[in-house]
Amino acid sequence: MSRIPKKVKSLLAVFAIMTVLAAFVSTAWATFSAITSVEKSYRYDLNEGPDVVKIGTERAPRARAPEPTTLALFGSGLMGMIISFVRRTYARAKRIFDILASIVGIMALSPVFLLTALLIKLTSKGPVFYFQVRVGKMGRLFNMYKFRTMKVNAEKETGPVWAAANDNRLTPIGNFLRKTHIDEIPQFINILKGEMSLIGPRPERPVFVERFKEEIKGYERRLAVKPGITGLAQVWHRYDETIADVKKKLRYDLLYIEKMCFWADINIMLRTFRVVATGEGAR
């Protein structure tokens, strides 16, 4: 049997390399096209108006579309599996980080826990902790834990209202606890219970959620993920005072949900340290 000439071997090698490159390009293009079409469907812009969400218009199907190749379909499916795996990995890693951060936070801040509890008991009558019903992921209700910063039955006459500057319902140390965000520390317990995450949209009260659903288009989309102790809206925007504030914070929340990743979480955490240190936007 005669040996294959070196030139033929070289041509076969070049052909094989070109085939692999063509397969890679086809796969990349198919994946890029799929991702781009999805990204164009939902866009969030912080400078947009109150409707927040712009839904891309559906194009009428063309009469004659090129048939996708089997290789492109396989590559697109493979990339979809990889993207799905990355997202699942992120969700699991985020949960593990939440648990570890909560345990470390409770242990490290235990002296603050005890001192805060003592000051609350010495300066006002009533319990140390305040339990308030909030709306969590997919609309599930849960009790959010906080250090009590207001007088007992503070909403008996006013009903559910937003916190205001120089609120006369606050206890003697309530304003300090809010300004330093110490009142939020017990929410580490909510994280351990799986009701909250360290980073995510802030959980809102049911009465306000129902109101905002009626007045703000797309508001329920922020319920797609677990609420958090801190979030993009909390570190870049002030407390809610008007519906306009809620609409703007919603744009931040939806932007986070769309772009959520480890890098976004790290940036929010760094910004949170600054907000806590300076008391920026606290009330």
Structural domain boundaries enclosing 266 = 109-278
pLDDT band at 153 (very low <50, low <70, confident <90, very high): confident
- The mean-pLDDT minimum among 33-37, 114-118, 193-197, 226-230 falls in 33-37
Q: Determine contact, residues 232/256, Cβ cutoff 8 Å.
A: yes
| 76 and 145 both lie in a single domain | no
| 207 and 74 both lie in a single domain | no
Taking alpha carbons only, the member of 202, 252, 264 closest to residue 229 is: 202
| 123 and 148 both lie in a single domain | yes
Whole-number Å distance between alpha carbons of 203 and 200 = 9
- What does the mean pLDDT of the chain come to? 76
The winner for highest mean pLDDT among 78-87, 135-144, 146-155 is: 135-144
pLDDT band at 121 (very low <50, low <70, confident <90, very high): very high
pLDDT band at 277 (very low <50, low <70, confident <90, very high): confident
Taking alpha carbons only, the member of 59, 40, 35, 45 closest to residue 218 is: 45
| 146 and 87 both lie in a single domain | no
More confident residue, 29 or 109: 109
Is 50 part of a structural domain of the chain?
no
pLDDT band at 205 (very low <50, low <70, confident <90, very high): very high
| 79 and 144 both lie in a single domain | no
Is 102 part of a structural domain of the chain?
no
| 163 and 81 both lie in a single domain | no
Q: Determine contact, residues 134/227, Cβ cutoff 8 Å.
A: yes
Confidence at residue 83, expressed as pLDDT on a 0 to 100 scale: 66
Confidence at residue 6, expressed as pLDDT on a 0 to 100 scale: 63
Is 55 part of a structural domain of the chain?
no
Whole-number Å distance between alpha carbons of 61 and 197 = 42
Is 45 part of a structural domain of the chain?
no
Confidence at residue 222, expressed as pLDDT on a 0 to 100 scale: 93
Task: Report helix angle 262-278 to 70-108, nearest 10.
Answer: 30
Is 137 part of a structural domain of the chain?
yes
Specify the pTM: 0.68
Is 59 part of a structural domain of the chain?
no
Tokens of 99: 């648990």
Confidence at residue 49, expressed as pLDDT on a 0 to 100 scale: 45
| 127 and 212 both lie in a single domain | yes
Confidence at residue 74, expressed as pLDDT on a 0 to 100 scale: 54
pLDDT band at 171 (very low <50, low <70, confident <90, very high): confident
| 83 and 134 both lie in a single domain | no
Among 92, 123, 156, the domain boundary falls at 92
| 127 and 20 both lie in a single domain | no
Q: How many domains does the chain have?
A: 2
Beta strand pairing call for 197-199 and 228-230: parallel
In the predicted model, what is the mean pLDDT of residues 137-162?
Answer: 81
In the predicted model, what is the mean pLDDT of residues 177-193?
Answer: 92
Tokens of 142: 């849960």
Residue found under tokens 């086809």 = 26
| 183 and 157 both lie in a single domain | yes
Among 28, 60, 92, the domain boundary falls at 92
| 76 and 142 both lie in a single domain | no
| 129 and 86 both lie in a single domain | no
Is 134 part of a structural domain of the chain?
yes
Q: What share of the chain is helix, strand, coil (3-state, %, to 5)?
A: 55, 10, 35
